[in-house]
A and B are shown apart, each in its own frame.
Chain A
Amino acid sequence: MGSRASSLLREEDIEEIKKETGFSHSQITRLYSRFHSLDKGENGALSREDFQRIPELAINPLGDRIINAFFPEGEDQVNFRGFMRTLAHFRPVEDNEKNKDPTAEPLNSRNNKLLFAFRLYDLDRDDKISRDELLQVLRMMVGVNISDEQLGSIADRTIQEADTNGDMSISFSEFIKVLEKVDVEQKMSIRFLH
C-alpha cells in the first residue's frame, strides 16, 4: 500500500511541499499514505464526507469547524497540497530552522498558528470574533445542558477581559495579547514522527 501510494506522488511535488511546509521527506510520504487511505473515492482529493468518516472528528465537539478549516473558500475538495498546507500549521517550532526564505514567515510560526486558531472562531472572516461567534463556539464545547443566559454571561466576560478598544469583539491583536502567557508553541504542535 505504501509503495503504491507514493508512486502517485512525484518527486517534484514532494520537493515543493517540503519547501512550502517544512515537513521532511518521510513525513510527507507518511502523510500521503494517510491521505490516500482517507480518500475513499480515489480521486486524489478529499471531500467533506471523507473527513466525517474519521471517528475522532465525529465525536469532536469542534469537528465541523476543523473540517472546514481544510477546505479553502467555497471549495468542496481539497487536494494533497492543501491538506499539507493546513497540517503545516501544527508542525513543532524549531529554533534551529533558520529561515531558508527570510521574507515569508513559515506556516508553523507562532503568529500563523494563532491566526489559524483565530480563523476557526471567526467564521465570517471579518477579522473579529463577535459575541455570537463566541457563543457558537462555547455552545459547541459545553453541550446542551447549559442555559443560554449562562453562556451569554461567560461570553460577555470573555469579551470584556480581552477587549481593549471597546468594540465588543475580539480582534486578532487582542487575541494574541490574551494568549501571550499560554505556551502556544506546545499546545498547537503535533509530534509528527520523522
Chain B
Amino acid sequence: MGMNWLLWSVLLVFLVFGSVPVGSDAGSDPDPDLHPDPPRDPHTPQHTPPHTPRRTFPVLTVQFQTVRKPFESALWILLASLLKLGFHIIPRFSSVVPESCVLIMVGLLVGALIKLLGETLPVLDTQLFFLVLLPPIILDAGYFLPIRPFGENLGTILVFAVVGTLWNSFFMGVVLYGVCLLEGSSQLAGVDLLACLLFSSIASAVDPVAVLAVFEEIHIHELLHILVFGESLLNDAVTVVLYHLFEEFAMMGEVTLVDVFLGVLCFFVVALGGVLVGAVYGLLAAITSRFTSHTRVIEPLFVFLYSYMAYLSAEVFHLSGIMALIACGVVMRPYVEANISHKSYTTIKYFLKMWSSLSETLIFIFLGVSTVAGPHTWNWTFVSATIVLCLLSRVLGVAGLTFFINKFRMVKLTGKDQFIVAYGGLRGAIAFSLAFLLSAEHFPMKNLFLTAIITVVFFTVFVQGMTIRPLVDLLAVKKKKETKFTINEEIHTQFLEHVLVGIEGVCGHYGHRHWKDKLGRLNASYLRRWLIVGERSQEPQLISFYNRLELEQALLVAESGTAGRLTPALPSSASLLAEKQKSVMNVSKEREQRIRKILRANLQKTSQRLRSYSRHALFLEEEEEDDWNEMKLQKQRLEMGRRMSHYLTVPANWQESPPLRRAKTESGNQVKESRPSAAVSVPIVSVESVPPSAPADSGMSPDKTADSPPQTVGGALKSLAGSGRGKGRKPSVTFALDVDEQKLPRCLSDPGPNKIDEEDEEHREWEV
C-alpha cells in the first residue's frame, strides 16, 4: 500500500514538472545557441565580422526549442498513461471510484500545483478536443457498436435522443430564464431568453465519453446500456443544430417563424447529411479493402483514415461529425472484416481501444486542469438552479417519453429501467468545450455559463458516477450476462427470424422484420458481391460465424501450448483430448523449452528433406495456395497443441520416434474440393486433406513412415481415433497430418531460426 502511494506521488511530481514547460510556452527566450550571429544590418559589415572569435567546440548543447512541442505532448501522454497504470494497480480504489472521477481529481491537483508555481495553465483547446481527442472515442464506439440490439431499439433511442434532448433544452432554458428574472440580481440581468436556451442546449446533451467511462464499469444488461449509450451518440445532431441555431439567433437578435422552420429543416439536414457522409466513406473503405490483399500491412490505416475523413468532411459542412463517424464504422465493418486479414483486424481493434482509452484519460485530466484555470463567475442561484433543473428535466423527460414509447414496444421498459436511463444521463467534456467555444463578445456571461457547466459536469460525473454502481446493485438491475457466443444461439436466432418473417407474411403484416429481411437480401445479393473479395461474398452469415468460433478456439489451443484450458464446448475430438490432458496442468518451463528445441530441430530437418515432395503444387492453383497454407497452418497448430500435451504426459524417454500414422478422412476423394471456402472452414473435428496418389481408404499407412518426421503422437492419435469410434460417432472424427509444411515451430510462439522465418512470411496471412 505504501508503495502505491509513493508511486502516485512520484507520478504527480512528474506531471507537475512536465506541465511547467507547457505553461511557460509564450514567454520563452530564444535559445542563444541557435543564433550565434544574428544578422543585424547587412550594410555595416564591420559589425558582423565574417569570423566569429574562435570558441571551443560544444560537445554537449541543450536545444530544447526545436523539440519543445512534441516533447511536451509526448510527456503529457506518457504521464497520463502512467496514471492510468497506477490507477489499476490499486485494486480497492478502482472498484469504488470510477476512473473518470480519479482522473478529474488528478487534473485538479495538477492544475492547483501549477497555479501555485505561478505558471500559466494549459487549457483544453477546443480545436484539440474536437479534432484529435474526440474522434477516436467515437470511432471505437461506432465500429464496435452491437448492431442487433441497436437496430431493435432504434426507435426508442431516437425518441430519447431527439425528443428528449429537445425537451430538456427548452424546459431548462425557459425555467432558467424565469429564475434569472425572478432573482433580479445584477449578475443575472444580462441573461436573456436566447442565452438561456443556448446554455441549456449545451448543458442538456448526454455525453458519450462520460457515459462510456461510467457504464463500462457497471456492466448492466445490454438493453439499458445500448439505450443510454445510443442516446448519447445520436443526440449529437440535435445538440449541433440547437447550438448553432441559438447562437445565430442570439447574435441576430430576433427570431421569426421562418427561422424556426429553417431550424427544423437544418436538423434533418445535419442528421441525415452526417449519416450520408459517413455511409459514403464507409462504402469507399469497403471498396478499398477489396484490393488490399497484397498490401496487408496498411489495411488498418485505411479504416482509420476513411473514418477520420468522414468526420472531418462532416465538420466542414457543420453536419454532425459524430453521426458521420458512427455511420462510417457501422457501414464498413461487415465488408472490411470479411476482406482483411486476421492480424489487421486485431490491429484495428487494439489501436482503437488504445487511442480511445488515451483520449478519455487526457480529456478528463484536462477537464480538471481547465477547471482550476478558470476564469470563474460563481453565482449560487444560477448554478444550483442549473443542477436541479438538469436532474428534474431529465427525470420528467424520461418518464414521459417512456410512457409513450411503451405503447409501441414489445418488451416494455420498467420503472427500474427508467430510473437507470434517467440517472445515467451524464454530462461531460463535450458540454464544456461547447461552452468554451462561445464568443465572449456576444455572450458577456460566458464565464457564468462555464462555471455552471463545469459544476454540472462535476456533479454528474462524481455524484452520479460514483453512486450508480451501488444503486444498480441495490435495485438489483439485471446485469450483463456473460455472453460467450454459442452456435446454438446463433442458429436458433436466425431460425426464429426466418420463421417470424414468414408468419408476418402470412398475417399480411409488414413490420420492421420484413424490411430488415429485405435489406438483408439486398445486401446479400448486391453489396456483398461487390464489396467482398473472393468466395466469402457467397458465404452465409451462419458459416462465417461458425468459422470465427472455430478459429478462436483453434487459436486458444495453439497459444496455450497445453490443452488444459479447453472449454467443454469444443466438439468431440477436442473433448476427448481434454479428458486425456486433464492431468497436465503444471509443466516446468525448462521441460517445455527442451521439448520445443528438439521439436524444432527435427522438424527443420524434415523441411529440408520434404520441400521437393510438396504434393500440393500438383493440384492447387496460385491463388488457392494462400488459403491452403493457412488451413494447413491451422491444422498444424492444432496438431502441435495435441502433440505438446502428449509429450507432456509422456515421461522423458521419448527419443525414439513413433512412426507417423496417416489417418484418412472418410471423404477421401477430396481432390476437387480445394475451394477456399471449404478449405478455410476447417473445424477441429473433421479435416479435409488432399490425399496423395495413395490408396483411398486405408486406415493407417505404416509404409509412409519412412520419409516422415520422427515426431508424431502416433500413440495418442490412434487411441483418440479409436475411442472416437468407440463412442459411436460417425467416423468423421479423424484427421490427417500434413507434416510436410514445416511451419510448425511457429505455433508455439517460438521464434525459431531465421531460415524458416522468410519462407513463413508470405504464407502467414490469415484470411478470415
- Is this pair of chains taken from one and the same complex? yes
Number of A positions contacting B (CB below 8 A): 58
Partner of B685, one of A153, A183, A186: A153
> B693 near A: Cβ within 8 Å?
no
In the complex, whether B354 has a CB less than 8 A from a CB of chain A is no
Closest to A59 in B: B521
Known: A142-B540, A154-B487, A182-B489. A188 touches B500 (CB 8 A): yes
**Pairwise interchain contact A187-B496, C-beta atoms closer than 8 A:** yes
Do residues A179 and B492 form an inter-chain contact, with CB atoms below 8 A?
Answer: yes
Q: Is the CB of B503 within 8 A of A187?
A: no
The residue on A at minimum CB distance from B542 is A142
Please indicate the chain B residues that have their CB under 8 angstroms from the CB of A189 in the complex: 410
| Interface status of B494 (Cβ within 8 A of chain A) | yes
Taken residue by residue from 119 to 153, chain A's Cβ proximity to chain B (1 for < 8 Å, 0 otherwise) reads as: 01100000000000000011001110111011011
Encoded as 1 (CB less than 8 Å from any A CB) or 0, chain B from 4 to 24 comes to 000000000000000000000
A141 touches B678 (CB 8 A): no
Do A182 and B493 touch across chains, with their CB atoms under 8 A apart?
A: yes
Let me know if B542 and A188 touch, CB within 8 A.
no
Residue A117 at the chain B interface, CB threshold 8 Å: yes
Q: Is the interface of B mostly helix, strand, loop or mixed?
A: helix
> Which parts of A65-88 form the interface with B (CB within 8 Å)?
65-66, 70, 87
Whether the pair A186, B410 counts as a contact (CB closer than 8 A) is yes
Is B501 an interface position by the 8 A CB rule?
Answer: yes
Complex CA–CA separation, A186 to B409 (angstroms): 9
- Measured between C-beta atoms, what is the minimum distance from B216 to chain A in Å? 21
When A57-B502, A150-B678, A161-B487 are in contact, do A145 and B538 touch as well, CB less than 8 Å? Answer: yes
Q: Which residues of chain A are within 8 angstroms of B667 by Cβ–Cβ distance?
A: 149
User: Which B55-103 residues have C-beta < 8 A from chain A?
Assistant: none
A190:B507 contact, CB within 8 angstroms: yes
| Residues of chain B within 8 A of A192, CB atoms compared | 507, 509
Q: Does B400 contact A (CB under 8 A)?
A: no
Among A145, A146, A158, A187, contact of B500 (Cβ-Cβ < 8 Å): A187
B681 contacts the other chain (Cβ, under 8 Å)?
yes
**Which residues of B668-689 are within 8 A (CB) of A?**
673, 677-678, 681, 683, 685-686, 688
Partner of B507, one of A31, A117, A156: A31
Could you tell me the distance in whole angstroms from the C-beta of B113 to the nearest C-beta in chain A?
50
Contact, CB under 8 Å: A117 / B495 = yes
Chain A residues with Cβ below 8 Å from B412 are 95
- In chain A, residues 158-178, which have Cβ atoms closer than 8 Å to a Cβ of chain B? 158, 160-162, 168, 178
Interface status of B718 (Cβ within 8 A of chain A): no
For chain B residues 685-732, which have a beta carbon within 8 Å of chain A? Answer: 685-686, 688, 729-730, 732
Number of A-B contacts (CB under 8 A): 158
**Closest CB-CB distance, B151 to chain A, in whole Å?**
12
* Residue B519 is within 8 A (CB to CB) of chain A in the complex: no
Interface residues on B, range: 35 or more
Given contacts A34-B508, A62-B502, contact A147 B673 (CB under 8 A): yes
Which of A1-9, A12-20, A48-56, A99-107 interfaces with chain B? A48-56
- The answer on a CB contact under 8 Å between A143 and B487 is no
B471 within 8 A of A: no
Residue of A nearest to B688 (CB): A149
B504, A143: Cβ atoms closer than 8 Å: no
Contacting A at CB under 8 A, from B496-530, are 496-509, 511, 514
Kindly report which residue of chain B lies nearest to residue A120, judged by CB atoms: B499
B688 cross-chain contacts in A, Cβ below 8 A? 149
Q: Evaluate whether A158 and B487 lie within 8 angstroms (CB atoms) in the complex, with A60-B501, A149-B732 already known.
A: yes
Residues of chain A contacted by B729 (CB below 8 angstroms): 156, 168
- Evaluate contact between B507 and A60: CB separation under 8 angstroms: no
**Interface pair A162/B488, CB less than 8 Å apart:** yes
CA distance A143 to B540 in the complex (A): 8
Cα separation A143 to B524 with both chains bound (whole Å): 13
Q: Are A190 and B489 in contact (CB-based, < 8 A)?
A: no
Binds A, one of B444-452, B569-577, B636-644: B569-577
Nearest chain B residue, comparing its CB with the CB of A146: B543
In the complex, what distance in Å separates the CA atom of A144 from the CA atom of B268? 44
Residues on A with beta carbons closer than 8 Å to the beta carbon of B505: 54-57, 60
In the complex formed, the residue of A with least CB distance to B486 is A161
Q: Does B491 contact A (CB under 8 A)?
A: yes
B498 adjacent to A60 (CB under 8 Å): yes
B594 part of interface (Cβ distance < 8 Å): no
Interface residues in B441-496 by Cβ distance below 8 A to A read 481, 483, 486-489, 491-496
Q: Which residues of A contact B539 (CB under 8 A)?
A: 145
Point out the residues of chain A lying under 8 angstroms from B503, CB to CB. 66, 87, 90, 190
Nearest CB of chain A from residue B572's CB, rounded to whole Å? 7
**Does B345 interact with chain A (Cβ within 8 Å)?**
no
**Are B494 and A117 in contact, CB atoms less than 8 angstroms apart?**
no
Contacts of A34 in B (CB 8 A): 507-508
Residues in A whose Cβ lies below 8 Å from that of B571? 153, 156-157, 160
Which of B499, B508, B732 has most chain A Cβ within 10 Å?
B499
Q: Could you tell me if A178 and B681 are in contact, using CB atoms closer than 8 angstroms?
A: no
- Does A191 lie within 8 Å of B410, measured CB to CB? yes
Q: Assess A62 versus B410: contact at CB under 8 Å? Given A153-B686, A160-B572.
A: no
Q: Which residues of B contact A39 (CB under 8 A)?
A: none
- Let me know if B499 and A146 touch, CB within 8 A: no
Pick the residue among A57, A183, A186, A188 that contacts B506 (CB under 8 A).
A57
- Determine if B509 and A190 form an interchain contact, defined as CB atoms under 8 angstroms apart: yes
- Contact between A150 and B502, CB atoms less than 8 A apart: no
Q: Which chain B residue has the least Cβ–Cβ distance from A157?
A: B571
Give CA–CA (A121, B495) in the complex, Å. Answer: 10
Q: How far is the CB of B643 from chain A (nearest CB, A)?
A: 22
Bound-complex Cα distance A184 to B410 (A) = 11
B657 to chain A, nearest CB (A): 31
B511 touches A178 (CB 8 A): no
Report B407 CB to chain A, min CB distance, Å. Answer: 10
Asked if A142 and B543 sit within 8 Å, CB to CB, the answer is: yes
Cα separation A31 to B154 with both chains bound (whole Å): 28
Whole-angstrom CA separation of A187 from B743 in the bound complex: 46
Q: Is B351 an interface residue when CB atoms closer than 8 A count as contact?
A: no
CB < 8 Å: which of A37, A55, A152, A188 contacts B686? A152
Answer whether residue A10 sits at the interface, using C-beta atoms and an 8 A cutoff.
no
Task: State whether B507 touches A187 (Cβ < 8 A).
Answer: no
Known: A149-B688, A150-B678, A162-B488. A186 touches B572 (CB 8 A): no
- Closest residue of A by beta carbon distance from B732: A152
Which residues of the partner chain A approach B540 to less than 8 Å between Cβ atoms?
A: 141-143, 145-146
Contact A66/B495 with A178-B489, A186-B411 known, Cβ cut-off 8 Å: no
Task: Report Cα–Cα, A97/B404, bound state, in Å.
Answer: 20
Cβ of B259 under 8 Å from chain A:
no
Complex CA–CA separation, A87 to B508 (angstroms): 12
A184 to chain B, nearest CB (A): 8
Report if B546 contacts A (CB, 8 A): yes
Quick check: A117 and B511 within 8 Å, CB to CB?
Answer: no
Closest approach, in angstroms, between the C-beta of A180 and any C-beta of chain B?
Answer: 9
**Is B37 positioned at the interface, with any CB of A under 8 Å from its CB?**
no
What 0/1 readout, one digit per residue, does chain B (720-757) give for beta carbons within 8 Å of chain A? 00000000011010000000000000000000000000
| Docked pose: A146 CA to B543 CA in angstroms | 9
Cβ–Cβ < 8 Å partners of A98 in chain B: none
Report B694 CB to chain A, min CB distance, Å: 20
Query: Does residue B152 face the partner (Cβ distance < 8 Å to A)?
Result: yes
Instruction: Write out the residue numbers on chain B whose beta carbons fall within 8 Å of the beta carbon of A153.
Output: 571, 683, 685-686, 732
Smallest CB-CB A-B distances: 5 pairs? A56-B505, A66-B502, A178-B488, A153-B683, A60-B502
Interface, chain A (partner B; CB < 8 A): 31, 34, 37-38, 51, 54-57, 60-63, 65-66, 70, 87, 90, 92, 95, 117, 120-121, 137-138, 141-143, 145-147, 149-150, 152-154, 156-158, 160-162, 168, 178-179, 181-193
Between A and B, 18 residue pairs with Cβ closer than 8 Å are A56-B501, A60-B505, A62-B499, A87-B503, A137-B495, A138-B542, A141-B491, A146-B540, A147-B673, A149-B688, A150-B681, A153-B686, A154-B543, A179-B489, A185-B411, A190-B503, A190-B507, A193-B509
Given contacts A87-B503, A150-B678, 14 further A-B contacts (CB under 8 A): A31-B507, A34-B507, A54-B505, A61-B498, A145-B540, A146-B540, A149-B686, A150-B681, A153-B686, A154-B546, A156-B732, A181-B483, A186-B411, A190-B504
